Amino acid sequence: MSTRVVIDPITRIEGHLRVELETQGETIARAWSETTQFRGIETIVQDRDPRDAWVFVQRICGVCTSVHAIASVVAVEHAIGSHPPTQARLIRDIVLASQEVQDHVIHFYHLHALDWVHVPSAATADPAAAVAFARAIGSTWRGNTLERMTEVRDTVRQLLDSGQLSIFTGGYWDHPDYRLPPEANLMAVAHYLDALEFQRSMIRIHTVFGGKNPHPNFLVGGMACTIDPDRSESINQVQIDQITDWVDQTRQFVRDCYLPDAIAIMGAYRDYFDIGAAQPNYLAVGLAGATFGGDPNTARTTTAHTAVKPGVLLDGDLSTVHPFDPTKIAEYIASAWYAYEDGDDVGLPPAQGETTPRYTGPKPPFDWLADSERYTWCKAPRYDGRPIQVGPVARVLLAYAQGHARMTELVDDAARQLGITVGQLNSTAGRTLARAIEAMVSAETLAEVTFPELVANIAQGDLDVFDNSRWEPKTWPATAEGYSFVEVARGNLSHWVTIEDGKVARYQAVVPTTWLAGGRDVGGRQGPYEESLAGDGLHPLRDPARPLEPLRTIHSFDPCMSCAVHVLDLGDARPPVVGP
């Protein structure tokens, strides 16, 4: 007899993702990924000046602000034929790299680690043993001191004695599948707190180049900031020195703390390299931060990330990289609350995409959505008809398949330590590990390539950050289409714009979480979230009242639902529901 289980909400900050499950015994038999918020940004930018679109679309999310802004300005530049100067491109690359590493750190420590780390256990740990544990796993983080571990242990004790766990409230702390010893838990909680300080510091890079964060300032044709080492109101030597320090701190934190923590913690949950696999199809246009205006195969856009070419891996075959063809992308709405003019069974390419909401679900509050064919606000993108994975695991596997030296070194080293195969990165633990590996490569590229190139160009007198040749609408064609591909923290992001008579006539965003969180398509094929839970019918769920196992798997994708869906306020708040 099957049991119905609802997990709602499923993330710590993205409260509008809901998962419905049917279980058989202690395993998941069927799964539905449900996004219960409608966004509508695509319709808000219609009839607006395309040079302003980035201001609106970066409000899609409170975390992924910069990446949507850059995707938007690059798509508009592709449409109107603008070519930003090298320095502007480098600044965008630096913004993307710093956002990506910060995002991965936040995901691991603040959104996902508590699925694996038992915070109350840290109160019973021996601080000296916690220091010894950190050293044993290769962590050389400067916070691994007896004084710091003692301080954190005492803080956890004070929280427990107070009866309120503050930011750690709500964990399934009585679940039996927390496996780390108290000393490892203490180390991880200490690093959790250190990561809060780190991510706050490194994102200051955005405030230098964009004036503020979140929602920095950007500009079609370049960047809104100016560079002049001799002027206080521009990016000058003082700020270059500050950024140099923040970039060094970034590389240090990932190398000394994040990567060894991820390998050690995933090592304690090694069976999760065999749990949570989704369809073994992967798409990426390069390493994290790769940015293209138009088709990446022919784009004239320059990018710092040339070592890995755009490509697709299919059916788990890591030996053959298939060429990436943007025309093979289509979005389906068979399970989503939308309507297409030519019928709901067709798949529309994003350039011809439509965002017409048609809610047919039950009036909230509701108990169960999956009784209907339509159960989500998230469309279902497909590549050549296939569900596909995007994100760090796709980029890491694509780079590995193309022989990227540093990525191969890091993957092989982690696989050797953990006793896994590269193919096992398609799993709950694999996606978590892939982020840490990717963060290392990104931090090194930022410190050794991108930022030094910007500084060297400044030293040679290159201060140009704006192409004004296509700023005036009179220089644009009457009708123009453009699109962009950007590899961001959660995966492949594309924005598609049609401009008519100087105004936005059509706009679509196909975001990483849409690729991953989308529901069943017209052929009944599950989206990656659904596949990862119910693909083989073996995913564990021992206690429906404490659904820790599916939380681990869905959190491993780093869901971002604000990005994924197309604002719904029914004036009826309903408390979270967990359990059958």
Binding residues for Mg(2+): 42, 566
**Binding site for Fe cation: residue ranges?**
64, 563
Q: 327: which residues sit within 8 A by CB, 6+ positions away?
A: 349
Between CA 54 and CA 222 the distance in angstroms is: 13
Cβ distance 400 to 411 under 8 Å? Answer: yes
Q: Which amino acid is at 2?
A: S
Q: What angle do CA 402, 405, 409 make, to 5 degrees?
A: 115
Structure tokens, 517: 């969180």
Q: What element of type H or E holds 514?
A: helix 512-517
Which residues define the annotated binding site?
42, 61, 64, 560, 563, 566
Residue 491 CA to residue 477 CA, distance in Å, equals 32
Please check whether residue 447 is in contact with residue 250, taking contact to mean a CB–CB distance below 8 angstroms: yes
SS3 435: helix
How many other β-carbons are positioned within 10 Å of the β-carbon of residue 165?
15
Encoded amino acid at 236, one letter = N
Binding site listing for Ni(2+): 61, 64, 560
Q: Are 247 and 450 in contact (CB under 8 A)?
A: no
State the burial class of residue 30 (Cβ atoms within 10 Å of its Cβ: 0-12, 13-18, 19+). middle
Distance CA 152, CA 515 (A): 39
Closest alpha carbon to 143 in 106, 109, 188, 111: 188
Residue 503: enclosing H or E segment and its boundaries? Answer: strand 503-510
Q: Note whether 469 and 49 are within 8 A (CB).
A: no
